[in-house]
Amino acid sequence: MGGPTLAEVVATDAERPYARPMIAIAEEGPEHHAAVAAVRRVAFGGPSEADLAEWLRCDGLVAASLVALEDGGVVGHVLFSDLPVEVDGAPARAVSLAPMAVRPDRQGRGIGTRLVAEGLPILRERGRTAVVVLGHVRYYPRFGFSAELARKLASPFPGRPSFMALELVPGALAGRAGSVRYPAAFGIA
């Protein structure tokens, strides 16, 4: 006995651990910039998100930037940038999770999940206390992001369920009211 179960036999290649390509997560370096821009252009269908990453870099706002590498090539990227957030008049050391992209032919394989999951502890180690994201309402809650937590933060996205926050340090966003001011690179008035 001890052979594979029926579920193991009929699993698709993407579900079999031995069939998955090896993905390494690493800090982005200058040698990755062109490949990161290419991934963003193809993932978002244009240059806007690639430009955002470059503007945030040029403005010195990058808190953490990670790449997903497959056979040495960039297949995904996430950027966390410093974001002015105040709660009850006190500043929080918050970041924005944006932009994030995975090459379309590599989506649905957990690469984005790994980028975010490996980025959050790095941010905590670097003294950041909270993360804000405008993203998919069924994707980001798996990491603990909450629209309810973000609701008290005055922002350009009032009441949107896609505007979410996550405390890296418990109580970092505790208080009655707060605000978020996106840097000029985001192009949000």
Give pLDDT, residue 50. Answer: 79
**Distant-in-sequence contacts of 113-116, Cβ < 8 A, 24+ apart:** 113/142, 114/23, 114/25, 114/68, 115/25, 115/66, 115/68, 115/76, 115/77, 115/78, 116/78, 116/140, 116/143
Per-residue model confidence as pLDDT tens digits over 13-40: 344 444 456 999 999 999 999 999 999 9
Per-residue model confidence as pLDDT tens digits over 133-170: 999 999 999 999 999 999 999 999 988 999 999 999 99
Cβ count near 178 (within 10 Å): 23
Amino acid type, 186:
F
Q: Which domains does the chain have, with CATH numbers?
A: 6-183 (3.40.630.30)
Q: How confident is the model at residue 7 (pLDDT cuts 50, 70, 90)?
A: very low
